[in-house]
C-alpha cells in the first residue's frame, strides 16, 4: 500500500492545512458535480418537456390546417408560435392529386437539410423523437412529430442558449464556491492546527529548557483529560530525569572532592621522591617518573571533574565585562607559555577607525579557559599549535587554534567534544579526556558553539564561534 510522503521540511501544521484543504476540495468538487448534473438534467428536461408539449400542440394545429385549409398552409405556418422563438418546418407527403410539399417559417432560417439527419429519418418513418444539435455554433433542440393520417411531418427547432447560459453561470458560481470553500478550509485548518499544536509547542519548549539546563521546568496542568495525561507523564519523566542527573552530578562532585585530598597527598609524596630521585637505582627512577606523570594526570582529571561539576550545577561565577579580544588573547598566550605561537587577527582593535572592532562584553575567564585548553590539546595530541586566529563578521567572533597534527577523523568530529572522548590519534596521549568537553561547556555559556574541521595544513582547526554582545558602558 502506497503511503503519502511529504518533503523533509513539511511540518505537521502544513500537513494539517493541506489535509483540511484537500478534504474540503474533494467534498466541494463532489457536491458541485452532483449539483451541476442535477440542475442541468432538471433544466434541460423541463425545457424539453415544455417544448415537446408545444410541438405536439402545433402539430395538431397544422393537422387541422391541412384538413380544413390546405391551400393556405404557407401563410398559416407563419402564425405558429414555437417555444423560445424557434422555427417550424412542415413536410407533406405526396398523395393523389397532391405533390410532396415543403413549408418553413419566415424568415427562412431552417430547412429540412439543417435538421439532424437522424431526427428527419425517424420522423419521415412516422415516428416521433427529439435530438439536441448545434446550428451556427449555438445549441438547439429539434422535435419531430409525425401525423400519418394526413401525411404530415412536423419539425420544430428551438434554441436552448438561455439554458446553456444559466448552466455556465452555475458552473462559474460552483467553481468560485469550490475555491472559497478550499481557502476557508485551509484557514480553518491553520487555526485549528495552532490550537492542536499549542500543547506540543509547550512540550517542545519545556523539553528544550530541560535540555539546556532548566531541570526544574514543568508543564502546567490542562483542563483536557487527554492532554492532562500527557502533562502528568511528561512531568513524571522530567522529575525522574532531574533526580537522576542531580544524583549523578552530586556523585561526580563528591567523588572529585573526596579524591582531591588524597591526590594532593600523593603529589606531595611524589615531590619528596622526585627530590631524592638520585638516591635510587635507575629502574626505581623510571618508576618514580611514571608515578609522577600519572599523579599529575590524575590531579588534572580531578580538577577538570570539579570544574565540570561547577558548570553542571550552575555554580560557576559569570562576570561579564568589556574586553579587547586581541589584547586578551595575546596576554593569555604569553602567560601560559604559548607566546611563540603566531597570533593572527583580522579584527581591528577597538581603538581603530573601523566598525568591526575586537571589543566584546563577556566573561574573560571563559575565553581564557577555552584558549588554554585548546592550546594544551594541540600541544599534547598534535605536536603543538601552529597559529591562533581571530575573525569577525560584525555579529560573531570566530576564535580558532590550528595544528599540523594527524587531524581528527570525520567520523569522530561530532563526538570529539563529549566527556572522556578521545580521538584515534590521541588514544595513547596524556590528558584526562575532559579538556574539550570543558571548552564546549564554556562555549555554550557564551551562547556560542565549538566544532573541529580540517585545517589548510592537513591538521585540525578547533573553532569557537560566539556572538558579539552589545558593549556595556
Of 312, 347, 368, the one marking the end of a domain is 312
> How would you classify the pairing of strands 385-392 and 343-345?
parallel
C-alpha 315/C-alpha 301 separation (Å) is: 19
Of the candidates 124, 130, 118, 113, the one whose C-alpha atom is nearest the C-alpha of residue 151 is 124
330 in the same domain as 305: no
128 in the same domain as 44: yes
161 in the same domain as 21: yes
364 in the same domain as 406: yes
434 in the same domain as 342: yes
DSSP for 353-421 reads: SSSSBSEEEE-HHHHHHHHHHHHHHHHHHSSSEEEEEEEE-SSEEEEEEEE-SS---GGGTTTTTSTT-
402 in the same domain as 300: no
Residue 49 maps to a domain:
yes
Residue 430 pLDDT: 59
Residue 208 maps to a domain:
no
Of 290, 312, 334, the one marking the end of a domain is 312
Residue 431 pLDDT: 58
What sign results for the dihedral spanned by CA atoms 177, 179, 181, 183?
negative
Residue 45 pLDDT: 81
Residue 343 pLDDT: 92
Range of the domain at 456: 321-467
Residue 191 maps to a domain:
no
Of 147, 165, 183, the one marking the end of a domain is 165
What sign results for the dihedral spanned by CA atoms 307, 313, 314, 317?
negative
44 phi, psi to nearest 5 deg: -70, -40
347 in the same domain as 287: no
CATH number of the domain residue 345 falls in: 3.30.565.10
395 in the same domain as 373: yes
364 in the same domain as 275: no
CATH number of the domain residue 127 falls in: 3.30.450.20
334 in the same domain as 292: no
Whether the Cβ atoms of residue 260 and residue 299 lie closer than 8 Å to each other: no
Indicate whether this model's pTM tops 0.75: no
Residue 314 pLDDT: 62
What sign results for the dihedral spanned by CA atoms 382, 386, 387, 393?
negative
138 in the same domain as 58: yes
Residue 204 maps to a domain:
no
Number of structural domains in the chain: 3
For residue 157, give every residue at least 6 positions away whose Cβ sits within 8 Å of its Cβ, in sequence order, or none.
86, 87, 89, 110, 114, 115, 135, 140, 141, 142, 143
Residue 108 maps to a domain:
yes
Q: Which helix (H) or strand (E) holds 285?
A: helix 282-312
Q: Per-residue confidence of the chain (473 residues) as pLDDT tens digits?
A: 444 454 555 677 778 788 888 888 888 889 889 988 888 888 888 877 877 787 788 778 778 877 776 666 666 666 666 655 677 777 777 666 665 666 666 555 666 677 888 888 888 888 888 888 888 788 888 888 888 878 888 888 888 878 888 888 888 988 998 899 888 888 888 887 777 777 778 888 888 888 777 778 888 887 777 778 888 888 888 888 888 877 776 766 666 666 667 777 877 877 888 888 788 888 888 888 888 878 777 777 777 666 666 666 665 556 788 888 899 999 999 998 888 999 999 887 765 444 457 888 888 888 888 998 899 888 888 888 899 999 988 788 999 999 888 888 887 888 888 877 766 655 555 556 777 888 888 888 888 899 898 888 888 899 999 988 644 43
Virtual torsion, Cα 302, 303, 307, 310, nearest 10 deg: 60
Whether the Cβ atoms of residue 116 and residue 142 lie closer than 8 Å to each other: yes
147 in the same domain as 229: no
Amino acid at each position: 500500500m502506497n503511503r503519502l510522503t511529504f518533503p523533509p521540511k513539511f511540518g505537521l501544521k502544513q500537513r494539517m492545512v493541506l489535509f483540511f484543504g484537500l478534504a474540503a476540495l474533494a467534498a466541494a468538487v463532489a457536491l458541485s458535480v452532483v449539483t451541476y448534473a442535477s440542475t442541468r438534467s432538471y433544466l434541460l428536461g423541463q425545457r424539453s418537456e415544455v417544448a415537446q408539449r408545444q410541438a405536439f400542440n402545433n402539430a395538431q394545429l397544422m393537422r387541422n390546417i391541412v384538413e380544413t385549409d390546405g391551400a393556405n398552409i404557407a401563410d398559416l405556418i407563419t402564425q405558429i408560435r414555437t417555444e423560445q422563438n424557434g422555427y417550424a418546418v412542415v413536410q407533406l407527403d405526396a398523395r393523389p392529386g397532391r405533390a410532396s410539399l415543403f413549408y418553413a417559417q419566415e424568415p427562412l432560417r431552417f430547412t429540412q437539410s439543417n435538421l439532424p439527419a437522424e431526427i428527419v429519418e425517424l420522423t419521415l418513418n412516422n415516428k416521433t423523437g427529439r435530438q439536441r444539435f448545434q446550428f451556427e455554433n449555438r445549441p438547439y433542440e429539434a422535435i419531430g412529430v409525425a401525423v400519418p393520417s394526413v401525411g404530415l411531418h412536423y419539425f420544430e427547432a428551438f434554441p436552448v442558449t438561455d439554458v446553456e447560459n444559466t448552466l455556465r453561470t452555475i458552473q462559474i458560481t460552483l467553481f468560485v464556491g469550490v475555491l472559497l470553500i478550499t481557502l476557508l478550509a485551509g484557514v480553518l485548518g491553520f487555526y485549528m492546527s495552532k490550537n492542536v499544536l499549542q500543547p506540543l509547542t509547550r512540550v517542545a519548549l519545556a523539553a528544550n529548557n530541560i535540555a539546556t539546563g532548566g531541570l526544574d521546568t514543568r508543564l502546567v496542568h490542562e483542563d483536557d483529560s487527554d492532554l492532562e495525561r500527557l502533562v502528568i507523564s511528561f512531568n513524571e519523566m522530567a522529575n525522574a530525569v532531574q533526580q537522576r542527573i542531580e544524583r549523578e552530578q552530586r556523585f561526580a562532585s563528591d567523588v572529585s572532592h573526596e579524591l582531591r585530598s588524597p591526590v594532593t597527598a600523593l603529589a606531595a609524596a611524589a615531590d619528596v621522591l622526585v627530590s631524592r630521585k638520585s638516591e635510587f637505582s635507575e629502574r626505581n627512577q623510571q618508576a618514580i617518573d611514571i608515578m609522577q606523570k600519572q599523579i599529575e594526570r590524575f590531579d588534572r582529571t580531578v580538577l577538570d571533574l570539579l570544574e565540570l561539576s561547577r558548570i553542571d550545577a550552575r555554580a560557576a561565577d559569570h562576570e561579564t565585562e568589556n574586553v579587547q579580544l586581541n589584547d586578551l588573547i595575546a596576554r593569555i598566550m604569553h602567560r601560559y607559555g604559548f607566546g611563540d605561537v603566531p597570533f593572527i587577527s583580522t579584527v581591528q582593535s577597538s581603538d581603530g577607525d573601523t566598525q568591526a572592532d575586537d571589543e566584546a562584553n563577556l566573561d574573560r575567564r571563559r575565553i581564557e579557559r577555552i584558549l588554554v585548553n585548546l592550546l594544551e590539546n594541540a600541544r599534547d595530541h598534535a605536536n603543538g599549535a601552529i597559529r591562533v586566529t581571530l575573525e569577525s563578521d560584525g555579529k560573531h567572533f570566530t576564535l580558532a587554534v590550528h595544528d599540523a597534527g594527524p587531524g581528527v577523523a570525520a567520523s569522530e568530529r561530532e563526538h570529539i567534544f563529549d566527556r572522556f572522548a578521545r580521538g584515534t590519534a590521541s588514544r595513547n596521549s596524556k590528558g584526562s579526556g575532559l579538556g574539550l568537553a570543558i571548552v564546549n561547556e564554556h562555549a555554550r555559556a557564551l551562547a556560542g558553539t565549538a566544532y573541529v574541521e580540517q585545517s589548510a595544513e592537513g591538521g585540525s582547526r578547533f573553532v569557537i564561534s560566539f556572538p558579539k554582545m552589545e558593549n556595556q558602558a
